[in-house]
Structure 1
Amino acid sequence: MASVLVTGSAGGLGLNAAAQLARDGHDVVVHARRADRLPAPPEGHSWAGAVVGDLSSLDEVREVAAAAEEHGRFDAVIHNAGLLDVAGMIEVNIVAPFALTALMTRPSRIIALSSGMHRGGSTDLTRMARGNASYSDTKLWVTALIMAFAERWPDTLSHAVDPGWVPTRMGGAGAPDDLEAGHLTQTWLATADDIEPRTGGYWHHRVTQRPHAAALDPGFQRALVAALEERTGLTLPA
C-alpha cells in the first residue's frame, strides 16, 4: 500500500487518478484550490487526507507543502494540477511542481503531467520572467524538470506523462482520446514495481516515447532549475 499526494484532484484526470488509487487500497491525499472544491471519495472508500491551496500563489504553495508534510513522507507525488492559457498558468504548471519538490520531503516517486504539446514549446526561459509563456512552453519545462530530477536523484523514480487529449473540463467535451486511459499511466507509475525505464521516462498510455530534445539536454535542465530557484528563492537539495 502506497501513500500518494495528487495535486489538482478536484476533478478530471486528478480526481480519476486519486479515486483509482483509493479503490486499489492506497492512502491518498487529495488537493484542491479551495475547500469547497475538495472531492468526495469513491463510494466505500475514504481519503487519507486533504490539503487546500491555490498553486498560482507561492505563499499558498508553501501552505500546501506544510499541510502535506503533516502526513509524513509520501511514496509518490503526482503533480497533476494544470491550467491552459489563463492567468496563473506558469505558476501552476511549472513553478508549483518545482516549489513543492523543494519544500517537501522528497518522495520515492515524482510524476508530473506533461502534454504532447510540449514538443512545440520554447527553450526561451525569459518567457517565464516576462509572463508570456505558452502552454506548450510550460509543458516542455515541466518535462525537462522531471528529467533533471531523474538525473539529480537516481534513487527517486521521476517520470513525465502525456495523458493524451482527453474530454475533461480543460480538454473539452470533443477531445478524442480515452479518458480512462488518461489517468491509468499515472496510477501505475505511482505504485508498480515493473517499470522500465526505472526513472526518467516520458510516457503515453504506459509506453515510453522520446520527448523534445531540450528536455533531455543537461544544459537546458540546469538553466531551467536555476531560473526556478531565482524566481522562488528556493533551492533543490543536492
Structure 2
Amino acid sequence: MARIFISGSSTGLGFMAAELLAAQGHQVVLHARNAARAEVARRALPKAEAVVVGDLETIAGAKALATRVNELGRFHTVIHNAAVGYREGQRLTTDGLPHVFAINTLSAYILTALIEKPKRLVYLSSGMHHDADANLDDILWRKRRWNGSAAYAESKLHDAMMAFAIARRWPDVFSNALEPGWVPTRMGGPGAPDDMDQAHRTQAWLAASDDPQAQVSGQYFYHLRPLAPNPQAKDAALQNRLIALCEKLSSVHLPA
C-alpha cells in the first residue's frame, strides 16, 4: 500500500481523493490551511494518518509546510491539489505576488522542490488550461489588466508544464497532470456540469494504481484516459523558463 500526501485536502476534490485512497487501504496525510480546517478534516476522515497545517499563500508558508511534511517521513506519492479558483479577484499576497499565482503555481513548485522526492507526482490542472497562454513575460500580471479567469487558466497551464518538466528532469519519478472536469465543488460552483463521481478518481488512480496505464510519466489525463494538453505545456523551453522564474521568485532550487 502507498503512503500519499495531498495538498489542499481538507475539503473538495482533494478530500474526496483522500477518502477513496484511504478506503483502498492506503496511508493518507491531509493538508489544511489552518487548525480549524484541520480539525474538521480529521473528524471527517479518522483513517487519515495525519493532517498537516500550513498556509500556501506565502513563500515562507509553503517552505514551512514542506518541512512539516518531510518530518513525517518519505511519501510514495504527492498530489498537488491545492488551488484557488477562477472567480478570484485581484489581490496580492504579503510577498507582493498575485494570490492565484502564489497558490496555484508557486506553492506547487516550492513543495515539489522541497518535499523529499516521491515515486509519483500528480498535478491537478484544468480544462481551462487548453485555451490559455503561459504569459511568462508577465507571469505576475504587472503589464496586463487583471482577469481572474485568465489568471486561473494560466496557473493551471503552469501546473501541467511543471508536471512535464519534472518528468524530463526526474526520470525515476512518475510525474503526470490531469483535469478533473468542471464539477460542482465550492471552487467550481453549483452550476458546473461534469460528473462529480469521476472528478477525484484519476488522481487517486495515478497516485497508487498498479495498472500499467497509470505507471507512466509526462502524460495528461481526463477521467482515466490520456488527453492531449495545451501544446505549450509540452514545450521544454517554456518549461525551463517557468522553473527558472519560480526559482528566482522563491529562492528555492529544484534539485537535479
- Greater alpha carbon shift after TM alignment, 60-69 vs 120-129: 120-129
Q: What residue number does 1:11 align with?
A: 11
SS at match of 1:50: strand
State whether residues 69 and 105 of structure 1, in contact with CA within 8 Å, keep that contact through their aligned partners in structure 2: yes
Aligned alpha-carbon RMSD (Å): 1.5
User: 2:60 & 2:193 partners in 1: Cα distance?
Assistant: 37
User: 2:212 & 2:233 partners in 1: Cα distance?
Assistant: 20
State whether residues 22 and 42 of structure 1, in contact with CA within 8 Å, keep that contact through their aligned partners in structure 2: no
Could you tell me the TM-score, scaled by structure 2's length?
A: 0.89
Unaligned runs of 5+ in 2: 92-98
Could you tell me the TM-score, scaled by structure 1's length?
A: 0.95
Q: 1:41: how far off? A: 5.3
User: 1:24 & 1:41 partners in 2: Cα distance?
Assistant: 19
User: 2:168 & 2:114 partners in 1: Cα distance?
Assistant: 19
Q: 1:126: how far off? A: 2.8
Q: What residue number does 1:70 align with?
A: 71
Q: What residue number does 1:89 align with?
A: 100
Which amino acid in structure 2 is aligned with residue 129 of structure 1?
Answer: L
| CA shift digits 1:105-126 (9 cap, x unpaired) | 1111000100010012112213
Which amino acid in structure 1 is aligned with residue 51 of structure 2?
Answer: A
| CA shift digits 1:139-191 (9 cap, x unpaired) | 11110110000011111000101000001000111111111200000001000
User: 2:57 & 2:138 partners in 1: Cα distance?
Assistant: 17
User: 1:176 & 1:16 partners in 2: Cα distance?
Assistant: 18
The 5 A counterparts of 1:83-122 are: 83-85=84-86, 86=88, 87=91, 88-122=99-133
Q: 1:137: how far off? A: 0.6
Give runs of ≥4 in structure 1 deviating > 6 Å. Answer: none
State whether residues 4 and 28 of structure 2, in contact with CA within 8 Å, keep that contact through their aligned partners in structure 1: yes
User: 1:168 & 1:115 partners in 2: Cα distance?
Assistant: 14
Q: What residue number does 1:140 align with?
A: 157
User: 2:67 & 2:195 partners in 1: Cα distance?
Assistant: 35
Which amino acid in structure 1 is aligned with residue 247 of structure 2?
Answer: E
SS at match of 2:200: helix
2:207 aligned with 1:205, yes or no? no
Q: Which residue, out of 138, 162, 175, partners 2:192?
A: 175
User: 1:139 & 1:151 partners in 2: Cα distance?
Assistant: 19
The 5 A counterparts of 1:151-170 are: 151-170=168-187
Q: What residue number does 2:206 align with?
A: 189
Which amino acid in structure 1 is aligned with residue 251 of structure 2?
Answer: G
State whether residues 165 and 240 of structure 2, in contact with CA within 8 Å, keep that contact through their aligned partners in structure 1: yes
User: 1:129 & 1:99 partners in 2: Cα distance?
Assistant: 17
State whether residues 12 and 169 of structure 1, in contact with CA within 8 Å, keep that contact through their aligned partners in structure 2: yes
State whether residues 23 and 42 of structure 1, in contact with CA within 8 Å, keep that contact through their aligned partners in structure 2: no
2:53 aligned with 1:52, yes or no? yes
Relative to structure 1, the CA distance from residue 3 to residue 41 in structure 2 (aligned partners, 3 Å threshold; closer, same or farther) is: farther
SS at match of 2:121: strand
Q: What residue number does 1:40 align with?
A: 42
State whether residues 75 and 107 of structure 1, in contact with CA within 8 Å, keep that contact through their aligned partners in structure 2: yes
Q: 1:92: how far off? A: 0.8
2:233 aligned with 1:215, yes or no? yes
State whether residues 199 and 223 of structure 2, in contact with CA within 8 Å, keep that contact through their aligned partners in structure 1: yes
| CA shift digits 1:85-132 (9 cap, x unpaired) | 424211110101100111111111000100010012112213323365
Q: 1:221: how far off? A: 0.8
